[in-house]
Structure 1
Amino acid sequence: MVLSIVIIIAAIALVAVLFIQFSPQFGGKASDEAIATYKTSKNYKEGVFKNTNDVKLDMSLKDMGKALIGFFKSQPNTKPDHDLPLAKIDSLNIVNYKGDTRLVWFGHSTFLLQTEGKTILIDPMLGNVPAPHPMLGGKRFNEDLPITIEQLPKIDAVLISHDHYDHLDYESIKVLKDKVEHFFTPLGVGAHLQKWEVDNTKITELDWWQETTFKELKLVCAPAQHFSGRGLTDRAKTLWSSWIVQSKKDNIFFSGDSGYANHFKEIGEKYGPFDFAMIECGQYNEMWPEIHMFPEETVQAGIDVKAKKVMPIHWGAFKLAMHTWTDPIERFTKTAKEFNVNMVTPKIGDEIFPKDSTYNTKTWWQ
């Protein structure tokens, strides 16, 4: 009996090791040449990237146990009991669009941004499960997306904030890579794209505060307080970031994933005010307060970056924490009203126009 149990455990361990070793989902590793360039970054120390503040990334065994129990334990209302309201958009609408800057939310942190005749995808996680295997994660709340990944037309650029599965999806990149002109990532993330057969000439990696120009748009890789990693041994081997997109008429901020810290004020002072800010608001827990914001902090971050409009993101698609699925938006809207913050709360697939003064807040989640 004992021998049988040992054999089963050994077999499971072997399968896990082989899966991690050979599955393309886990991405690639930076070359020695690339690592040599990372060593010139102020954020790279002792072989890993660091946050500006001293951030605790490892939970105690007690907290880890509580997190696992909480995640797998049946809890009320952590997922909706029906598909969420959703608006559709077709490829011709995207191809022929020539109007003012607009965005389309795909849920969680994925956006389609069109500005100055350019089409950009931000953190295009368009897959069904934010995990290296379908059995290792929960399914997307909605069966459908505003448009399928196969129907998307040519994309000028993709911005990626970091390499976690709910932001960088192998299956999505595999379908997108031949229709994307250029990828912009924080330092190190390009190794994953190269592993997935994206040509190196189509990848630009940036450090915090570095700027680049792409077809008359200014792109800025800005700080965030988070971490990275796709496997068991690559924690913080790639950088994480927020992004700024500046066109002739609009200034847009995307927070990526981040805990609340003083970098938001610094971003606001250097690049604000912003016409529109998409700021993380979801998947938080008291056990990891430094790497994800609570909704009240999301509001403050919007104030810090000097955003004229703030949209809460990182919710509405996946269960990655133990709060109810509506807790982020309920707490955000309550606090935003208290501080007179101009908020935007579209349903998935709605068109969002940063400078539309007639927009009325929608409470579709109710």
Structure 2
Amino acid sequence: MVFIIITLLVVAFWTTYYFSTDRLTQFGGNPEGTRLERLKQSPQYNGEKFVNEQETGLSWGISGYMKMLSKWFFGKEIREPEGVIPIIQLTSASFKKESREDLRVTWLGHSTALIEINGYRILTDPVWSKRCSPSTLTGPARFYPVPISLDDVPHLDAIIISHDHYDHLDKDAVRILAATGVPFYVPLGVGAHLEKWGIVQSQIFEMDWWDSVSVTSELDLIATPARHFSGRGISMGSNLTLWTSWVIIGPSYRMFFSGDTGEFPGLADIGQRYGPFDLTMIESGAYDKLWPDLHLNPRQAVAAHLALRGGVLMPIHWGTFNLAYHDWFEPPEWLVKEALPKNTRLAIPRPGQTFTVSDPPEIDYWWRYVK
């Protein structure tokens, strides 16, 4: 009888898991054939997987995992907001007024933003799911709904993706957006996921570090280095696909999108090659001493901004999901303390807020009223 009960429980668990991961398709695909042969030619590929230019810690050992569990269950941080985050609800009408003169950004949460650069529209790391997880039942849940529905997203000229983690690459959002015919610019190997989900090859442009592409005669994208890791499997660290940051160059403006990265000398190199930048969008959350190589904290974000020769700094990768062991509101507070003494200009919009880089909004400390 005990054996039967255990068997039924195991079957029930795996059946639930199977369907909650959309029949396991959330995990995506692996590079094969000509795609695999191409990525093997990358200087970032060591014959088995992609690697960073610097030694990067990805294994915590038993003691590290014990510390994580201790922090998770006994930490005193306020990792999720107790109040309601004030979002600005958007519709397609919100983007009807176009400008060929401005650089405007609308923060949609985490690392998802709609960029309007001289009239061209680029969407970064589109994630609309309620959880950044392969399963609809478990994993970090959103603090607030995305300020705009996928059906209301205006015409896009490009979508850029930094890497394949669940908080940056959302299967359902990608499939819906792909139906519009928009091209996807992604790191090497990530195209295997997109093709697995039904996106046609002609819409997928896979790029290695320092590769550049002209989306139009006036809009260029450059895939630039980052220090991170990749994977959508249970281990989350297979590194079978590459990770990138991005440089976006329009007729009148240029900007930098960090994706996920730790500190590394290559940021200054990017700044020397392509800076100065009118705007840098730099991750400033989900950091911890247990993984110092993988994410930037606010002090490091300001240092990266200066190394990149940035004008306005906009923090991303914060205030949307509970992914680390710090207060959810710590990133902007720390960022302000680091940036203001260095005369670094900040833009910290609330979700759904649009701002013009030439005239960024005053810091209103909106997160202080949500705690």
User: Would you say same fold, with TM above 0.5?
Assistant: yes
Q: Bigger shift: 120-129 or 59-68?
A: 59-68
- Partner Cα separation in structure 2 for residue 317 and residue 294 of structure 1: 16
1:110 aligns with 2:112: yes
Which sections of structure 1, spanning at least 5 residues, go unmatched?
A: none
Q: Bigger shift: 145-154 or 268-277?
A: 145-154
1:127 matched residue in structure 2: 129
1:56/1:12 Cα in 2 relative to 1: closer, same or farther (>3 Å)? farther
Q: CA deviation at 1:131?
A: 0.4
Q: Is contact 1:281–1:294 with CA below 8 Å preserved after alignment?
A: yes
Q: Is contact 1:153–1:179 with CA below 8 Å preserved after alignment?
A: no
For the residue of structure 2 that corresponds to 1:124, the secondary structure is coil
2:98 matched residue in structure 1: 97
1:348 aligns with 2:351: yes
- Partner Cα separation in structure 2 for residue 15 and residue 52 of structure 1: 41
For the residue of structure 1 that corresponds to 2:182, the secondary structure is strand
1:259 aligns with 2:262: yes
After the TM superposition, which residues 1-40 of structure 1 pair with which residues of structure 2 at under 5 Å, given as runs?
3=3, 7=7, 10-11=10-11, 14-15=14-15, 22-40=23-41
Which sections of structure 2, spanning at least 5 residues, go unmatched?
A: none
For the residue of structure 1 that corresponds to 2:99, the secondary structure is coil
Q: CA deviation at 1:14?
A: 4.9
Q: CA deviation at 1:23?
A: 1.5
For the residue of structure 1 that corresponds to 2:315, the secondary structure is strand
1:332 matched residue in structure 2: 335
- Partner Cα separation in structure 2 for residue 286 and residue 136 of structure 1: 25
1:229 matched residue in structure 2: 231
Q: Is contact 1:155–1:180 with CA below 8 Å preserved after alignment?
A: no
For the residue of structure 2 that corresponds to 1:102, the secondary structure is strand
Specify the code of the residue in structure 2 equivalent to 1:48: K
2:142 matched residue in structure 1: 140
Detail structure 1 runs of 4+ shifted over 2 Å in the superposition: 1-22, 68-76
1:59/1:219 Cα in 2 relative to 1: closer, same or farther (>3 Å)? same
Specify the code of the residue in structure 1 equivalent to 2:38: T
After the TM superposition, which residues 166-185 of structure 1 pair with which residues of structure 2 at under 5 Å, given as runs?
166-185=167-186
- Partner Cα separation in structure 1 for residue 225 and residue 367 of structure 2: 31
Q: Bigger shift: 129-138 or 65-74?
A: 65-74
Q: Bigger shift: 228-237 or 207-216?
A: 228-237
- Partner Cα separation in structure 1 for residue 97 and residue 297 of structure 2: 39
- Partner Cα separation in structure 2 for residue 248 and residue 156 of structure 1: 15
Q: CA deviation at 1:152?
A: 1.4
2:44 matched residue in structure 1: 43
Q: CA deviation at 1:98?
A: 2.5
2:210 matched residue in structure 1: 209
- Partner Cα separation in structure 2 for residue 149 and residue 58 of structure 1: 37
2:326 matched residue in structure 1: 323
1:192-248 alpha-carbon deviations (Å, 9 max, x no partner): 111111110001000001111001201000000000000036610000000010001
1:89-128 alpha-carbon deviations (Å, 9 max, x no partner): 3212324423512110011110001123222110011221
Specify the code of the residue in structure 2 equivalent to 1:294: N
For the residue of structure 2 that corresponds to 1:268, the secondary structure is helix
- Partner Cα separation in structure 2 for residue 57 and residue 9 of structure 1: 33
Match of 1:276 among 279, 296, 313: 279
Percentage of identical aligned residues = 36
2:156 matched residue in structure 1: 155
Q: Alignment RMSD, CA only?
A: 2.1
2:305 matched residue in structure 1: 302
1:359 matched residue in structure 2: 361
1:58 matched residue in structure 2: 59
Specify the code of the residue in structure 1 equivalent to 2:121: T
- Partner Cα separation in structure 1 for residue 148 and residue 6 of structure 2: 48
For the residue of structure 2 that corresponds to 1:135, the secondary structure is coil
Q: CA deviation at 1:2?
A: 6.6
Q: Is contact 2:282–2:301 with CA below 8 Å preserved after alignment?
A: yes
1:164 matched residue in structure 2: 165
Specify the code of the residue in structure 2 equivalent to 1:124: P
Specify the code of the residue in structure 2 equivalent to 1:148: S
- Partner Cα separation in structure 2 for residue 185 and residue 339 of structure 1: 34
- Partner Cα separation in structure 2 for residue 278 and residue 288 of structure 1: 21
Q: CA deviation at 1:173?
A: 1.2
Q: Bigger shift: 91-100 or 211-220?
A: 91-100
